[in-house]
Structure 1
Amino acid sequence: MSKLYIVGIGPGDFEYLTYKAVETVKNADIVIGSKRAIDLFDEVNEKIIFNVKNLHGNLEESVDIAKEGKDVALLSTGDPGFSGLLKPILEISEEKGFPRENIEVIPGISSLQLASSRCKIPWDSANIMTFHGRENIEDILPIIDNGLETIALPSRKVKDMAQFLIDNGVDSERQVIVCERLSYPDERIFRGSLEEVSHSEFTYMCVMVILKE
């Protein structure tokens, strides 16, 4: 029976692709993902590029194609299980009656892992939080003073998140590290205070590390 592979493609540079990811994509009947993700792979049989305005529709299509009998490789930035495509695909597959056992997850390297490496923070000794697709960023407030570094994927602009923390009583001089465009040629690691970050511009591809006091 056909398989739906959710393939983690890592933070963005081809050097962080796993061999398993490359082989899975090469052997899949159809590869579905963003143009940026698909372009990481040299060998692709047939491809469907995401319509960014209809992501849910693309995910439904990937399940439908797998149900029709073709092996599908669905490309997920970072690791599929962390702010990736695993959660929505499981929900869609259940709705459409596609067997869970026909879904295989190919793990990838999360930007959080790469950020912890760049900052030399053991990430099993840090708070790990994602706010992608979430508005309740106040959940971070009771966490950041528990004696551990906090590695977070912001839900909004990094400077807005820094301002939110300041507005909610966090010391404006609290030190943070912003890891921007990890693994890309223009990667930037910025270290400074929340106040500095709140007045700086960053792209949306960032990880924020809030250092412990």
Structure 2
Amino acid sequence: MGKVYIVGAGPGDPELITIKALKCIQKADVIMYDRLVNKELLSYAKEGADLIYCGKLPNYHTMKQETINKFLVKYAKAGKTVVRLKGGDPYVFGRGGEEAEYVAKHQIPFEVVPGITASIAASSYSGIPLTQRNISGNVTILTGHRVNEENHLLNNLSFLKAADTLCIYMGIGNIETIQAQLLKADKSEQTPVAFVEWASTDKQRTIISSIEKMAHDVNEKEIENPCLIIVGEVVKFHSKLNWFEDVPSRSMIVEAGASQ
């Protein structure tokens, strides 16, 4: 019997991977990796390791989740050390829990190795602290995907009202609905919003907007996934704490609406 390691590869900057995750990559017989995993990390795989791409785009899956689950079990039963390499953290909108549950159901030994998730990376690399004394005492992490489902947190207006800082994953495709729900929750139209594309990579771009203009700016500035949306007064710190994008050759900062 082999073993499955469900491993977080971090947000994109290969130097942000943990030592434990790197050791897993180095000893793996099989690495099943996602689209947002930095391909540089695959260079640490041992000679002869099988590298299997499982990438997913919005509305298009190279490999269905059910197939991924079955391959994890198949390779482990063949005595292989299998690394399921996932962008960010496996247990934060990474479906790592589903994979772990499936592997456990088939009595396969497994471990889960955490990784830096997109909200933490986007916060640090854009100069936006998610918490700040006297400004933000709580952080809510939620998905903008399937926002029309009845039990989605964005449909809970009292919940949104209580949130000081919101970190929204996978929200670009439903930006109009997200904007409408924030306004229904009596969030000020002038509440700052940050869109952080490709956080921690050399393609990072931070666009500053507001709840009032957020849907317009997504279209006007052609904002695309992967993108982390941060909503709250802490976004104002971007102008003075941004360190990453100020480095020459890094991506530009676009202050949406600044010239309007």
CA 1:15–1:54 in 2, change beyond 3 Å: closer, same or farther? same
Is contact 1:12–1:184 with CA below 8 Å preserved after alignment?
Answer: yes
Aligned partner of residue 100 in structure 2, secondary structure = helix
Structure 1: which 5+ runs fail to align?
A: none
Structure-2 residue corresponding to 1:172: 189
How is 1:24-173 mapped onto 2 (pairs within 5 angstroms)? Answer: 24-34=24-34, 37=37, 39-41=39-41, 42-44=43-45, 45-50=49-54, 52-56=61-65, 57-95=67-105, 97-99=106-108, 102-117=109-124, 118-122=127-131, 125-131=137-143, 134-135=146-147, 136-139=152-155, 141-146=157-162, 148-157=164-173, 159-165=175-181, 168=184, 170-173=187-190
Is contact 2:12–2:38 with CA below 8 Å preserved after alignment?
Answer: no
Between the aligned partners of 1:19 and 1:6, the Cα distance in structure 2 is 14
Structure-1 residue corresponding to 2:217: 200
TM-score by length of 1: 0.84
CA 1:83–1:91 in 2, change beyond 3 Å: closer, same or farther? same
- Deviation >6 Å, runs of 4+: none
* CA-to-aligned-CA distance 1:131-160 (integer Å, 9 cap, x gap): 265432534532232262222214442633
Q: Deviation at 1:204? A: 1.4
Between the aligned partners of 2:183 and 2:137, the Cα distance in structure 1 is 27
Q: Which has the larger radius of gyration?
A: 2
Structure-1 residue corresponding to 2:206: 189
CA 1:199–1:61 in 2, change beyond 3 Å: closer, same or farther? same
Q: Deviation at 1:34? A: 2.9
CA 1:212–1:37 in 2, change beyond 3 Å: closer, same or farther? closer
Between the aligned partners of 2:35 and 2:215, the Cα distance in structure 1 is 32
TM-score by length of 2: 0.70
Between the aligned partners of 1:186 and 1:158, the Cα distance in structure 2 is 23
Structure 2: which 5+ runs fail to align?
A: 56-60, 235-260
Higher mean C-alpha displacement, 162-171 vs 9-18: 162-171
Between the aligned partners of 1:62 and 1:18, the Cα distance in structure 2 is 22
Higher mean C-alpha displacement, 162-171 vs 38-47: 162-171
Between the aligned partners of 2:38 and 2:72, the Cα distance in structure 1 is 15
Higher mean C-alpha displacement, 43-52 vs 63-72: 43-52
Is contact 1:179–1:208 with CA below 8 Å preserved after alignment?
Answer: yes
Residues paired across the two proteins, number = 210
Between the aligned partners of 1:13 and 1:77, the Cα distance in structure 2 is 11
Is contact 1:158–1:197 with CA below 8 Å preserved after alignment?
Answer: no
Letter of the 1:43 counterpart: Y
Q: Deviation at 1:78? A: 0.3
Letter of the 2:191 counterpart: R
* CA-to-aligned-CA distance 1:163-213 (integer Å, 9 cap, x gap): 333563543322222222101112122222112221123111111111159
CA 1:62–1:142 in 2, change beyond 3 Å: closer, same or farther? same
CA 1:175–1:74 in 2, change beyond 3 Å: closer, same or farther? same
Q: CA RMSD in A?
A: 2.7
